Structure formats: C-alpha cells, structure tokens
Amino acid sequence: MATKVVMEALSPTMEEGRLVKWNKNEGDAVKSGESLAEVETDKAIMELVARGDGVLRKRLINEGDTAPVGQLIAVIGAADENIDALAGGGAAAPQAPAAAQEVEPGAAEQLPQEGAAPASPAPPAQERPRDARTSVPDDAAQSQGEASTPPQERDRTGAERTSTGSQGATLAIGSSEPGDRVRSSPLARKLASERGVELGTVQGSGPGGRIVKKDIEEAATRPKGAPAPAAAQGAPAPVAARRISAEGDYQDIPLTQIRKTIARRLAESIGPVPTFYLTAELDVERVAEMRDSMIELGAEYKVSFNDIVLKAVATALQQHPEVNAHWLGDKMRYFNRVHIGMAVAVEDGLITPVIFDADTKGLADISRESRELAKRARDRKLKPDEYTGATFSVSNLGMFGIEHFTAIINPPEAAILAVGGVEERVVAVDGAPAVRKRMNVTLSCDHRVIDGATGAKFLQTLRRLIENPLMLVY
C-alpha cells in the first residue's frame, strides 16, 4: 500500500515548511527511517524521514518550494503500484500535530501514516522533569564592555535579544560580530563540511555575497590550489552582515520561515498586550570585581556579565512568582519553576533557547549551558523542546554599546527584561563623586498580569542580588 509523505509540523509553532533539498530521487529505493528531504522550519533545518518502505514514486514539490503543514509532498509505493489517485490529487491532509518528540539534530519526525499513532504534544513547561537540559548558547556574547577582547572571546556572553526581535523576544547577541564569519546558507555549510570545502576560500554568488549550494558544488569540483573563477578574483570580500545587493534600484528577498514567524509573533505581542516599562540603573562594580576574581582562578571559572544577570534574574523570579507568569486568556498561570528564555541571533533572524530550572543551577552550569545553546542555535540544531517552555525572558544588547532599550514581551509570557551595557559613570558615593560601573535594565510588563508595584518589587530584589553578587553563590 502506498505511503503518503506530507509536510509535518517539525516545531510547535511551524505552520509551513520550505523544502531545501530532496535527499532521494524518484525511483530510489526507500526504507522507513531514511532521510527523504531537508526542510527549513521556522526554527531550524531538519530532516524529513520516510514512514514506509518501497520506492519514491513521485515528488510533488520542488526544492525551494514552501508547503503548509499537512500537505502531500511525495508518495512512496511499490515499483508497480498505481499511485495516480494519490499523486494526481495532492489534497492537503489534516494539519499534523506539532512535533513533540525529541528530534535528533538532523533527524525529523514525519506526519504519522494512516494507522500510526500521532506524536504526543510537548509537555508544558511546568511538567518538565527537573533535570531537563537545553543545550545552551555556544559562545554566547561575552560580557558587555569587553570590546577589546577577541571575537571568539566576546562570543561568550549568553544569548541576547533585541526589542525588534519577534517571538516576542529580542535579538540575541549570541552570534559573533558581522565580520567574524563567512555568510553562507545552512545547506551550503552542510555541503562544505561533507565535501571538505573551506568556506573562507569560496566566493559567494548569492545576495550580498552569500555562499549558496551552487558555489560549494563548483568549489568541490575545482582542483586543490586552483584559483577561484575570474569573476571572483580581485573582488572585495563580502561583508557578512550585508544583505542588500548594490545592483539595480532595489532587491526583493523572499521571507524565510524564521522571518515569517518573527513577523507574526511581533504582531501578536506589540498590539494586543497592554505593556508598561520600569527602568532601573544598577551598580555592577562588585559584579565586575567578582568576575575578575573568578577569571584569576582559571578558565573553568570564567563567566560573563550576562551569565551573572541570568542567575540573578532566576533567583529573583523564585522569590517573585507573580512575575514568573503567563497570560492564558481566561486565566493567569504562575510558575513555581524558573525557565529562562534567551534569544540567539541566527543567519535569518533569531531563536530563543531556554535554560530550564535556572534558579537551581550554579553560575558555572548557566555559563556552560548558555555557550552550548548559542552554538546549537547558530548551527540550527536545537530540538523543539530546547526552545519552548520559557516562563520569562532576558534580552541583552550591552555588547553593542546600547545603554537602554525596551524589549517586546514574548506571549504568553508576562514580562521580559532588557539589559543594557556596562559603562563607567561618575556617580555620588557617600556624598563624593566617584567612577563606578553601572548598567541599565528595563522590565517590560503585561499589565493584565503584573501591576506597577509588583514589577518594582521584583526590580528591587534584582538590584539587591546584582549589587551584592555573593548572594548568588550562597
């Protein structure tokens, strides 16, 4: 009996997917569990696997095409089986439930076939086991104010977000600075790794000099040591952050799945949510002293300002569950466990990995998880349960020299904290002027859940913890 291959919801928020690459051609033998295609979801590049044995009889969409969740995209059957009724119809199947099972990086679940049990939905955040782990930002942006450190060191600050970010979040500063990496598509990076091609030696032909699949295939066929094509010789190296071509009056760039999700989530937050903002200036002189002392003990004790902020926020939320909350329309949900969401900038947008039970973890654990999550996020290898389930979010733009900003709440969360840069300022200390390290933070609050006094008390506790950081290692 023929097996339908449909576009599956490979992430909890996925509504459609873009087929990046077919891994099987029509007529190829297929076994259950084998990778059929690579699909770009709103969060990552994942593999679509076969649910039946046979031959890939028909591919119904092409590489680069987008299909809604549940749409029939291919048919697997016996070599002599008549599949005209399926291949000719192409009617969309009912929308598949969001993929809830753990998906190995590079392995995806496909919509269950007829008679197969559907995947169970992802457990809500408060039902996760206490030891649930998220891989954390790899070299998440290093502490604010470390402009003199090399990019590979600055990359350690823990993922951060921008107020323009969506998913209600903010742009993560988890990625290195624009000029620190070659701009390339996820598929191009994967092909380069498989074929031993050094990205730094390839001249991109995509928008803004981006390296695409075709460039890697051409580079792989060139003899080693051979110069790049003449068109590339003498051309300036493309600026990684540059997305717009200089040719013509304008350039239209189709939306990626992640950018579509960002736009949708932004509209869901900024309009309907009645938001107010509370700003405080914190003295971080002691935080800087503690961090310097930890660095002197050895590399294994090195943490960023952002790691310390995450730990302080998690501790404060444990004391203020009324801020660690979600708005659910007909009710408010207050969490006893603290799951901190932090955004990481990826090539086409941002993603928000989560540090689960952050209030129970030490600084070393938070630092390690934040680095790991940032790396996996930039490689687009996060599993769905690693970027869902946050109870509160933190956004940090400090490494960009931003003093103060307001972040957009990520529904259904009730609040998000925006963290500015660490700067030396002249302030009054015991009645005399002194130079102290200071940092601005702004709490964005959903007024349906959090009142002004409630948010202010949370910031008071956060101030006490950050200005007396030894309380975080008690």
- Domain hosting residue 440, numbered range: 127-177+258-473
140 and 229 in a common domain: no
- Does residue 112 belong to any structural domain of this protein? no
Q: Would you say residue 65 lies in a domain?
A: yes
| Residue 71, both tokens | 């749409």
| Residues 147, 67 share a domain | no
Q: What is the pLDDT of residue 246?
A: 65
The answer to whether the CB of 52 falls within 8 A of the CB of 113 is: yes
- Between CA 413 and CA 427 the distance in angstroms is 35
- Please report, for the domain that includes residue 412, its CATH number: 3.30.559.10
Residue 107 lies in a domain: no
Length of the chain in terms of residues written: 474
Nearest alpha-carbon partner for 173 in 398, 403, 409: 398
Same domain, 169 and 190: no
Least confident of 98-112, 177-191, 388-402: 98-112
How far apart are the C-alpha atoms of 288 and 145, rounded to whole Å? 11
Question: What is the band of 168 on the pLDDT scale with cuts at 50, 70, 90?
Answer: very low
| Residue in this structure with the two tokens 């046979």, named with its chain if needed | 54
Q: Does 331 map to a domain? A: yes
pLDDT band at 379 (very low <50, low <70, confident <90, very high): confident
Confidence of residue 358 (pLDDT cuts 50, 70, 90): very high
CA nearest neighbour of 410 among 109, 38, 125 = 125
- Three-state SS at 33: coil
Residue 1's pLDDT band (cuts 50, 70, 90): confident
* Model pLDDT, residue 462: 97
Q: Is residue 126 over pLDDT 70?
A: no
8-state DSSP, 126: G
What per-residue confidence (pLDDT) applies to 156?
33
For tokens 């299909």, name the residue: 67
Is the same domain home to 11 and 134? no
370 and 442 co-located in one domain: yes
Specify the amino acid at residue 258. I
DSSP states of 289-327: HHHHHHHHH-GGG---HHHHHHHHHHHHHHH-TTTSEEE
CATH code of the domain in which 189 resides: 4.10.320.10
Name the domain boundary from 89, 107, 140.
89
As a whole number of angstroms, the distance between CA 19 and CA 257 comes to 11
pLDDT band at 96 (very low <50, low <70, confident <90, very high): very low
DSSP notation for 355-391: ETTGGGS-HHHHHHHHHHHHHHHHTT---GGGSS--S
Torsion sign across C-alpha atoms 211, 214, 217, 219: negative
Q: Which pLDDT score is estimated for 349? A: 73
Mean pLDDT, the chain, integer: 75
pLDDT at position 474: 65
CA dihedral 254, 260, 266, 267 (to 10 degrees): 90
**CATH code of residue 36:** 2.40.50.100
Is the sign of the CA dihedral 140, 183, 421, 260 positive or negative?
A: negative
pLDDT the model gives residue 308? 94
Classify burial at 97, counting beta carbons within 10 Å of its beta carbon; exposed 0-12, middle 13-18, buried 19 or more. Answer: middle
Confidence at residue 241, expressed as pLDDT on a 0 to 100 scale: 47
Q: Residue 249: inside a domain, yes or no?
A: no
Asked if residue 193 is part of any domain, the answer here is yes
Q: Is the same domain home to 268 and 347? A: yes
Rg of the Cα atoms in the chain: 24
Which residue out of 320, 326, 339, 447 is catalytically annotated? 447
- Same domain membership, residue 412 and residue 298: yes
Report whether pLDDT(119) > 70. no
Residues 187 and 152 in one domain: no
3-state secondary structure of 223: coil
User: Has residue 198 been placed in a domain?
Assistant: yes
Q: What is the pLDDT of residue 336?
A: 92
From 307, 404, 318, 398, select the one nearest 355 (Cα to Cα): 307
Task: Note whether residue 83 is domain-resident.
Answer: yes
pLDDT at 228: 53
Residue 339 appears among annotated catalytic residues: no
**pLDDT of amino acid 224:** 58
**Residue 171 CB contacts under 8 Å (≥ 6 apart), including other chains:** 160, 161, 162, 163, 164, 165, 343, 345, 350, 395, 397
Non-local (6+) Cβ contacts of 449 within 8 A are: 322, 325, 326, 327, 332, 414, 415
- In the chain, the number of structural domains is 3
11-15, 128-132, 227-231: range with highest mean pLDDT: 11-15
Average pLDDT over every residue of 229-236 = 38
Phi, psi of 164 (to 5 degrees): -85, -10
199 and 319, same domain (yes or no): no
Q: How far apart are CA 56 and CA 86, in angstroms?
A: 13
User: For residue 245, what pLDDT is reported?
Assistant: 63
Last residue of a domain, one of 41, 61, 89: 89
Please tell me whether residues 198 and 173 are part of one structural domain: no
Residue that finishes a domain, picked among 59, 89, 119: 89
Model confidence at 441, pLDDT cuts 50, 70, 90, reads: very high
Q: Is the pLDDT of residue 282 over 90?
A: yes
Q: What is the pLDDT of residue 275?
A: 93
Between these two residues, 108 and 88, which has the higher pLDDT value? Answer: 88
What percent of the chain is predicted at pLDDT more than 70? 70
Is residue 206 located within the same domain as residue 307? Answer: no
pLDDT in tens, 26-41: 999 999 888 999 998 8
State pLDDT tens for residues 315-335: 999 999 999 999 998 899 999
- pLDDT score recorded for residue 257: 73
Same domain for 294 and 214, yes or no, is: no
Predicted local distance difference test score (pLDDT) of residue 397: 87
Q: What is the pLDDT of residues 142-167, one digit of tens each?
A: 333 333 333 333 333 333 333 333 33
The candidate with the shortest Cα–Cα distance to 77, out of 86, 69, 68, is: 86
